[in-house]
Amino acid sequence: MWKKVFAVVVTYKRASILEQCLTAVLKSSTYKIEHLHIIVNDNESSTLKIIKQFSLEFPSKISFEIYDNVGPAGGFYYGLKKFQESKSDYVWLMDDDIIPEPGCLQALMDCADSEPYVFPKVVKKTGEEVRAFGWWGVLISKQIVEKAGLPIKDFFYWTEDTEYLQNRMIRKNGIIPYRCGNAVVEHLHKRTGNKPSWYYYYTIRNTLYYRTRIFPFNLKGAVRVAYVFLGTFYRILSNEPKKLKKMYLVGLGTFHGLAGKLGKIEKLHQEC
């Protein structure tokens, strides 16, 4: 039986990449989606132009919401909320830099015949497989989303995918994601260049919050926290400009993470 798929794409200031993503989802995919909902994390004219072009071609399939940058956490929170209001059977979640191969969704749906939570193989442009796990084309049934609830939008950036896709699904509900080897997406994102100052605040804050308040703080968790701190210190001291400011934000993130303070800090983004 044919199942309805509701796709959610979260985008932020990457119009050219978004165009590739939408082309793959709406035009190239052999399995046709029921609806696509786009969370626009910035009111940027080039992004809106791309979305409106696709909306003219697929007038009944596209909707979008514009926010003043609620981050990936807020983006997928609102996207999944919209999915819950729909009559679709599955939600297909992805960042704007994920490009599914034409047969990707069909392969995911074939796997979904026996598994309620499936994800594709993720590759770089070089063909190298990415072993990490994130908002990279996962497909989840409505029953599972209703059971798991919505992501923690106050994370804003960092760890929100781990908390929702792994901790919430696997640890709390015992739902094991199934890897569909025949389903493939290309991940275009390149982790290069210096990081903005706010990156270090959210990385430290959310890691500590997750590891001390959500995930059981065991030896593995302690090692992970130490790894993040040591990696952060090394990167800032060896490569980054504005070292004092970034070290201060590491300290602030540590304090807020242990104190349980979440949410987007507007001032950090205004200073960038």
Cβ atoms of residues 250 and 197 within 8 Å: no
What tens digit of pLDDT does each residue of 121-131 get?
A: 999 988 899 98
What tens digit of pLDDT does each residue of 15-67 get?
A: 999 999 999 999 999 999 999 999 999 888 999 999 999 999 999 999 999 99
What tens digit of pLDDT does each residue of 242-263 get?
A: 999 999 999 999 999 999 999 9
User: Residue written as tokens 């994800």?
Assistant: 119
Query: Which residues have C-beta within 8 Å of that of residue 47, sequence separation ≥ 6?
Result: 11, 13, 14, 15, 18, 40
Residue 272, pLDDT above cutoff 60: no
User: Once rounded to an integer, what is the mean pLDDT over residues 109-125?
Assistant: 95
Residue 1 pLDDT grade (very low, low, confident, very high; cuts 50, 70, 90): low
Q: Which domains does the chain have, with CATH numbers?
A: 5-187 (3.90.550.10), 197-270 (no CATH)
Query: Which residues have C-beta within 8 Å of that of residue 134, sequence separation ≥ 6?
Result: 95, 161, 165
Measured CA to CA, the distance from residue 122 to residue 34 in angstroms comes to 23
pTM across the whole model? 0.94
